[in-house]
């Protein structure tokens, strides 16, 4: 339809089928065919031939010319608006806990790849309470935490399952723990209290990777995610109580529809565990 209207405008303005063909780089028969098709669509003649074969616009052509000019102006404005929309980049800040950083995040990242050209993506690692506070205060857009937390400003949803185990030398008097406000730290305190354990030496380390490295070196024991266990590391299963969920958390009143759509894609990412194992 655009080619028909383009041809009509040129004939109306030049009053020549020949000049229109030259201008549009098409043959004169093609010009005639396009106008005939447009007239059939409209059910009205648009141009007449005078005594000297001059092109004379009809009343329908005069009416159509104004409408087509308006239509093309709106089309140009629509194209420009779309270009600006595509060029807009959206800040998307994500906060994740340490257990998530190396196990869940690489799989989850696949969601963002189609939209990277429109994203200023920033991923930071904090403990669970810090992640939650940053989302609650809308300082970041989305977080993944390791323990249940809720507020009136946030929406929390289940992302995937995880299991905590005791890894390392279970007979050791050396026990490595994470900081208290981390997700694993929360469960570690629960484990020590339930088991009535009082390790002789407790060492606090704020990094899962560092703890795992010590365990693999044959030093001490610790409560860690089963995701970090391999054939080098002995471990003991603790049961259902220590089967937890990684939770997604977002700002409830997010105003950026692009960000809201991304978060919905994360919610729909139901096969995350299959991609990890």
The verdict on 67 and 104 lying in the same domain is no
- pLDDT level of residue 154 (50, 70, 90 thresholds): very high
Query: What does the mean pLDDT of the chain come to?
Result: 88
Q: Per-residue pLDDT for 250 more than 90? A: yes
The verdict on 53 and 151 lying in the same domain is no
Distance, CA of 210 to CA of 213 (rounded, Å): 5
Give me the phi and psi of 2, to 5 degrees please.
-60, -40
Q: What is the pTM of this model?
A: 0.59
Boundary (domain end) residue, out of 86, 112, 128: 86
The verdict on 173 and 79 lying in the same domain is no
Q: How many domains does the chain fold into?
A: 2
Alpha carbon 116 to chain centroid distance? Answer: 8
What share of the chain has pLDDT > 70, as a percent?
96
The verdict on 30 and 114 lying in the same domain is no
Boundary (domain end) residue, out of 46, 69, 86: 86
Mean pLDDT of 195-199: 88
Res 277: pLDDT: 42
The verdict on 129 and 213 lying in the same domain is yes
Q: What is the CATH number for 70?
A: 1.10.10.10
The verdict on 252 and 122 lying in the same domain is yes
Boundary (domain end) residue, out of 42, 71, 86: 86
Q: Which range has the worst mean pLDDT, 10-14, 21-25, 76-80, 218-222?
A: 76-80
- pLDDT level of residue 180 (50, 70, 90 thresholds): confident
The verdict on 97 and 233 lying in the same domain is yes
Res 201: pLDDT: 95
The verdict on 247 and 128 lying in the same domain is yes
- 264 is in which domain, residue-wise? 90-277
What is the helix, strand, coil percentage profile of the chain, to 5? 50, 25, 30
Res 35: pLDDT: 92
Structural tokens at position 203: 């060492």
Q: Per-residue pLDDT for 270 more than 60? A: no
Q: Per-residue pLDDT for 49 more than 90? A: no
Q: Using one digit for the tens of pLDDT, what is the confidence trace for 72-127?
A: 888 888 887 777 666 678 899 999 988 788 778 888 899 999 999 889 999 999 98
């Amino acid at each position: 339809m655009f080619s028909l209207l383009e041809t009509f405008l040129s004939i109306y303005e030049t009053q020549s089928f020949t000049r229109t063909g030259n201008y549009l780089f098409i043959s004169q028969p093609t010009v005639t065919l396009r106008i005939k098709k447009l007239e059939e669509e409209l059910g009205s003649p648009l141009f007449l031939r005078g005594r000297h074969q001059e092109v004379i616009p009809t009343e329908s052509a005069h009416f159509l010319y104004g409408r087509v000019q308006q239509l093309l102006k709106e089309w140009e404005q629509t194209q420009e608006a779309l270009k600006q929309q595509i060029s807009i980049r959206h800040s998307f800040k994500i906060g994740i806990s340490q257990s998530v950083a190396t196990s869940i995040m690489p799989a989850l990242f696949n969601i963002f790849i189609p939209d990277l050209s429109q994203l200023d993506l920033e991923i930071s690692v904090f403990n669970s309470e810090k992640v939650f506070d940053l989302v609650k205060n809308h300082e970041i857009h989305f977080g993944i935490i390791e323990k249940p937390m809720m507020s009136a400003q946030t929406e929390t949803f289940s992302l995937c399952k995880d299991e905590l185990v005791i890894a390392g030398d279970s007979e050791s008097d050396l026990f490595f723990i994470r900081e208290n406000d981390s997700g694993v730290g929360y469960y570690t305190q629960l484990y020590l209290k339930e088991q009535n354990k009082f390790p002789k030496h407790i060492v606090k380390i704020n990094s899962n990777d560092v703890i795992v490295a010590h365990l693999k070196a044959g030093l001490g024991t610790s409560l860690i995610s089963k995701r970090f266990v391999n054939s080098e590391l002995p471990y003991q299963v603790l049961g259902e109580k220590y089967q937890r969920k990684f939770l997604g958390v977002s700002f409830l009143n997010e105003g950026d529809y692009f960000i809201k759509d991304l978060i919905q894609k994360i919610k729909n990412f139901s096969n995350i565990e299959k991609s990890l194992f």
